[in-house]
Chain A
Amino acid sequence: MSVLVASFADEAAIVRAVGALRRAGLSSIETYTPYPVEALDALLPRPRWRLPVAVFLGGLVGLVLGFGMQWYAAAIDYPLNIGGRPLASWPAFIPIAFEIAVLCAVLAGFFGFLALARLPRPYQPVAAIPDFERASHDRFLLLVDPAGASMPSADTQALLEQCEPCSVFLWPS
């Protein structure tokens, strides 16, 4: 199996190319860019809610754990009667519960990001593409699997070549 690689020198060109490929019915497209290109968001849909849900659940777990720990310690494990004051004095438990909730949410956000982005992964197969290292600097790279298209691979390549790329080539992966 091989993929088509096109490299572009400016943002507008890669956005045009991705748009053209999408209109041609290709869907397995990935881009590698030096910064997040907002115009690609609409063209290349990605799951949006997984990470926010993970962070929310992390925060929720932290909140329950934080409150639970303090409530268990103060009301069940070591009840201490101080002038008849309530044992489960929940308002005094808010700050620590909040801090633990934020801690768990941040951990869920960070490690959820790593998991969903498939990191850490020091060896990335795509890094073997010639000039790939410029994709973090001054080039915009587009990878497309022509097998998904209804048209022949040569047509996809021709389509890309109309979009002012710096280079287009077939890369065996």
Chain B
Amino acid sequence: MPGPDAAMDAPVMEPGQNLRTIGEAVVEQVEPRLRPWWWAGFGLAGVFAAIFVLAVEWLFIAGIGIWGVDIPVAWGFAIANYVWWIGVASGGTIISALFYLVGAEWRSAVNRIAESMTLFAAAAAGVMPILHLGRPSYFYWLFPLPNSMGLWPQFRSPLLWDFFAIITYVTASILFWFLGLLPDLALVRDRTPSRGRRRLYALLALGWTGSHTQWRLHKTAYGLLAALMAPLVVSVHSIVGLDFSGGLLPGWHSTQFSPFFVFGAVLSGFAMVLLLVIPLRRAYRLEPFITPRHLDLLVVFMLLCSLLLAYSYLVDALLPFYGDDRFERATALHRFHGAWAWSFWGAVILNVLLPQILWLRRLRANGWLVCLIALGVVVGMWFERIMLVASSLYRDFLPSAWGHFAGTLWDYLTLFGSIGFAAAGFFLFLRYVPAIAVYELKELLPPGERRG
């Protein structure tokens, strides 16, 4: 009889698996089959991706005036979207790199999904600051390139640090993802019956044979890259936090922003992974590999991040009243009950209060409820980002300089379009790439079961 600790005691893999069953279950996922839910999902995502393209196109033609940004609020949705997306991406890297380093065996079944989510989230994040530039075609001015005036970019600015952090993060994420994928691409190459697909995957697998020499190098390379990715992702979101604390505005100029942003980022990442993993394990019949234990651990980590974020919210709300800066106090009070109070309270309720029901083991085991809470967290994190961006900007020091901010239709189309863009990429990933690291699952087999 399953006791109350059933999820915690559950194995990381259902018994009765062997090399053949694992390989076949995962390769089945990338075989061409008519999957109505996939077409429905990809179609819907595609529509929103098309909206994104249109919104960006119109932005390029008409200029940034189609958005709600103006003076004093020069950072609007684009920056909030950027911070939100890069946060979602960070969670995937934490799951895949940090938990690899600590040897958590539960990560093996979900790391590919997490890493792929990271890639598309980072792509959606990466375009936002470029769109946000009034003249996007000059984005390359951020590169330290020689120009006619002999000028360099401002190396002392967190905004430029951010540019370097994103370039590094996106590049490293792609390489880390591809490195882990190599043996599984070779598996698809070897298993797929179609000649054309065999060619395609042979090309992608680069000639991987699985020799002992290659495996040794692969393991070393993967460990090294994981050890670089884990501090990298913390640095990326810390620098995003510094973008804000480097500004002198009340509500931004705070020393806790770096860890505060990292906590929120990891929270939204765990939430997004849960949101993807719970339906996917059912859709692809991956229940033997993604067990209740995985879901339980992911939920527990989401809860942990929620508590860390609660601490940051508390510090952010209390410090203005502990200190003596009346502008900080005014901004804090305005966040509690000003025009954008909905975003503050929305963030508190969705990110901190609602997830607390997951302390109850019974509720934690309910997939739909967890999905709902995770969706709430993802939305709540966007609320937090827009609250931080907007509320400090439209009411800073002098009342004569105050203004207001509201998103326009094009702001919302860009936001929802970017979700479609990332989702469409993720659906394509599901169609062509094994969503579970097969060779890592095979390593999880007990010694006696490691047979064909």
- Considering residues B144, B160, B217, which has the most beta carbons from chain A within 10 angstroms of its beta carbon? B217
Question: Is A26 in the interface zone, CB < 8 Å from B?
Answer: no
Is residue B138 within 8 Å, beta carbon to beta carbon, of the partner chain?
A: no
Residues of A within 8 Å of B211, CB to CB, are 30-32, 126
Residue from the list A36, A98, A112, A114 in contact with B206, Cβ < 8 A: A114
A interface SS class:
helix
CB neighbours (8 Å) of A127 from chain B are 209
**Bound Cα distance from A26 to B321, whole angstroms:** 76
Decide yes or no: A135 and B213 within 8 Å by CB, A77-B150, A110-B179 being known contacts: no
B452 interface neighbour in A37, A74, A116, A138, Cβ under 8 Å:
A138
Contact (A119, B206) CB under 8 Å given A10-B452, A110-B221:
yes
Take A9-B452, A99-B165, A121-B206 as given contacts and tell me if A46 and B439 are in contact as well, using a CB distance cutoff of 8 Å: no
A70 to B171, CA, bound (A): 21
User: Which of B160, B219, B224, B451 is in CB contact (< 8 Å) with A109?
Assistant: B224
Further pairs besides A41-B216, A93-B155: 4, Cβ < 8 Å = A31-B211, A107-B175, A117-B213, A133-B190
B210 touches A96 (CB 8 A): no
Check B190–A137 contact: CB distance below 8 A. yes
Contact of B209 with A122 in the complex, beta carbons under 8 Å = no
Distance in angstroms from B75 CB to nearest chain A CB is: 20
Give the size of the chain A interface in residues (CB under 8 angstroms).
Answer: 62
B212–A44 contact, CB under 8 A? yes
Q: B residues within 8 A CB of A36?
A: 215-216, 218-219, 439, 443
The one of A41, A52, A96, A121 that contacts B161, using a Cβ cutoff of 8 Å: A96
B residues in contact with A137, CB < 8 Å: 19-20, 23, 187, 190-191, 452
A151, CB-defined interface residue at 8 Å: no
Within the complex, which residue of B156, B208, B212, B228 is in contact with A30, where a contact is CB–CB below 8 Å?
B212
Instruction: Let me know if B190 and A46 touch, CB within 8 A.
Output: no
User: With an 8 A cutoff between CB atoms, is B186 at the interface?
Assistant: yes
Q: Quick one: given A78-B150, A122-B207, are A92 and B212 in contact (CB under 8 Å)? A: no
Q: Is B388 an interface residue (CB 8 A)?
A: no
B241 to chain A, nearest CB (A): 12
* Structural contact, B164 and A99, CB atoms closer than 8 A: yes
- For residue A123, which residues in chain B have a CB less than 8 angstroms away from its CB? 207
Residues of A within 8 A of B443 (CB): 35-36
Nearest 3 pairs of A and B residues by beta carbon: A138-B452, A10-B451, A120-B206
Partner of B225, one of A69, A106, A117, A138: A106
Closest to A98 in B: B235
Q: Interface digits, B78-99 against A, CB 8 Å rule (1 contact, 0 not)?
A: 0000000000000000000000
Mark interface residues in B172-203 (1 if CB within 8 Å of A CB, else 0): 10011011000100110111000000000011
CB closest chain-B residue, reference A10: B451
Distance in angstroms between the alpha carbons of A102 and B229 in the assembled complex: 8
A100 within 8 A of B: yes
B450 close to chain A: CB less than 8 A: yes
Contact of B335 with A by CB under 8 A: no
Q: Is B151 among interface residues, defined by CB-CB distance under 8 A?
A: yes
Could you tell me the distance in whole angstroms from the C-beta of A114 to the nearest C-beta in chain B?
A: 7
Q: Does B395 contact A (CB under 8 A)?
A: no
| Bound Cα distance A99, B236 (Å) | 9
* Cα-based distance from A10 to B442 in the complex (angstroms): 12
A39 to chain B, nearest CB (A): 9
Q: How far is the CA of A121 from the CA of B206 in the complex (A)?
A: 6
Tell me the chain A residues, 106-161 only, with Cβ under 8 Å from chain B. Answer: 106-107, 109-110, 112-114, 116-117, 119-124, 126-127, 133-139
Binding site for B on A (CB under 8 A): 9-12, 30-37, 40-41, 44, 46, 48, 51-52, 55, 59, 69-70, 73-74, 77-78, 89, 92-93, 95-96, 98-100, 102-103, 105-107, 109-110, 112-114, 116-117, 119-124, 126-127, 133-139
Chain A contacts for B239, CB-based, 8 A: 95
Q: Is the CB of B224 within 8 A of A51?
A: yes
Interface residues of B in 353-402 (CB under 8 A from A): none
- Whether A95 pairs with B235 at a CB distance below 8 angstroms is yes
From B214, B228, B452, contact of A106 by CB (8 A): B228
Task: Tell me, in angstroms, the Cα distance from A17 to B5 when the chains sit together.
Answer: 42
Q: Is the CB of B20 within 8 A of A78?
A: no
User: Shortest beta-carbon distance, B245 to chain A, in Å?
Assistant: 13
A10 to B440: give the CA distance in the assembly, Å: 16
Contact B152 A78 (CB under 8 A): yes
The docked-state distance in angstroms from the alpha carbon of A100 to that of B447 is 42
Chain A residue contacts of B210, Cβ below 8 A: 32-34, 135-136
16 contacts between A and B (CB under 8 A): A32-B212, A33-B212, A35-B183, A35-B440, A40-B212, A48-B216, A51-B221, A73-B155, A99-B235, A102-B231, A106-B176, A122-B207, A123-B207, A133-B190, A136-B190, A136-B208
How far does the alpha carbon of A114 sit from the alpha carbon of B211 in the complex, in Å?
14
A98–B152 CA distance with the chains assembled, in angstroms: 19
Most buried by B among A33, A35, A98, A116: A35
| Closest chain B residue, CB of each to CB of A105 | B228
> Are the C-beta atoms of B164 and A95 separated by less than 8 Å?
yes
Q: Which of A34, A99, A112 contacts B168 (CB 8 A)?
A: A99
- Output the nearest chain A residue to B235 by Cβ-Cβ distance: A98
Nearest neighbor of B203 in chain A, beta-carbon distance:
A122
Question: Whose C-beta in chain B lies nearest to the C-beta of A38?
Answer: B443
B23 → chain A closest CB, angstroms: 5
